[in-house]
Structure 1
């Protein structure tokens, strides 16, 4: 059946047709929600809630936007209701997470078990750059975070973001410019890959732990971000960083499970969950 026919059936209330259409962007929706929450449990719950809410409201879809944009708006509204109850992350969230891990034998052992036993337990610097991007984007106000991720990571058009956030084009452009400037400044001060004085050297530190026989300098120099850091200005480096982040699926990459347990440690350290051991396991 052609897509037009599938959409017609979905509009008429056929759940199988709606599932077919939803599946086209389901994984992208999940990774979007993960970047907003840094929590797999929230991703599963919100994806389910979004599917139910969208199907229930399918008769109101007027096709003024794509179905994907319409569903992302529903997901964003659901996410916003939860995110506004949480505090914004501090810029040093990763430092706090690192300090917690260093001081806890149990957490270190948990890292080791995932690294040694999971098919998605590999440590790669480029994936940790994606981890850093997620952590640092969570220092932004919710609307800024949403606008930035939708535009720079998922390539939504500005007019689509206007629809999702229910904001004017001028407001969305302001959100984007402000967010990029803030994150660029944070990365300038923290990223040890492009700034030798950067305070966050987790990429090399963790790579050394999980890949002890690897030449750290050589591994760093494989990254375009590092190779180009002496050529590009700060705005171009930010664009290069987002290009790298776009290429990584934080839920299904070769190191997704390891990065997720590091993220859980970080959330625990800043009080985003009750206790590391009480958080539900990754899966």
Structure 2
């Protein structure tokens, strides 16, 4: 069983903000990729806001198709293709990694995709030598990709997309750490001091200091063509038996699935024990903060 979906809350739909999440599953179901496109500003320089004036800005001044969605789609399709190119599938359905160093596999995958996103952004006259953080910030995404291999789940992820393994009884066996905005340390006071996220100064500070900046411990990564993004790639392995659930998700559904980002929520446990995947999708739709994606496999 494998099932994937993207859901959005009513506010995102009401203001007509384009979908910016993406997921892709290999034909044999062994490779899963999920990405969250990072929302950019409207072309009139205003931040995206879920209000009446914000809805008008989005309706008339937000790029369509979304540049963030392009980055997310590029990640999910290319990640599956890249990982597949490293894997040889045997006739009996089992797989083996062509070379032992999985770090190399994931680093090559994320690095090449980051370069492809840079090329995509190049058509929009992004100057990577001197980035305009206020008016021409490069589009990008966060993402996660997994491959099952001989009772293990090999994973690579960046920032706030994630991977988890849950037992049939609903026990959380393993979960990646959320390293999204604010999770590595709060910087809200500094942004508020220059006008908050809604101000051009606040967004400039956030993007310049707290994104793709290895020298700032509270920063997080975005695959947007900047080489510093690779600093935020995390790689690992989880054990998984044939009865366990594998969850690959974007941050929008994390709060629906987990309690305090650490343990699985009671409602999620009940639904998994019942094998009620439709109910799990309904729960995510009810609780999603803005937009979220989940691929679940058993």
TM-score (norm: length of structure 2): 0.28
Q: Which has the higher strand share?
A: 2
TM-score (norm: length of structure 1): 0.29
Q: Which has the higher helix share?
A: 1
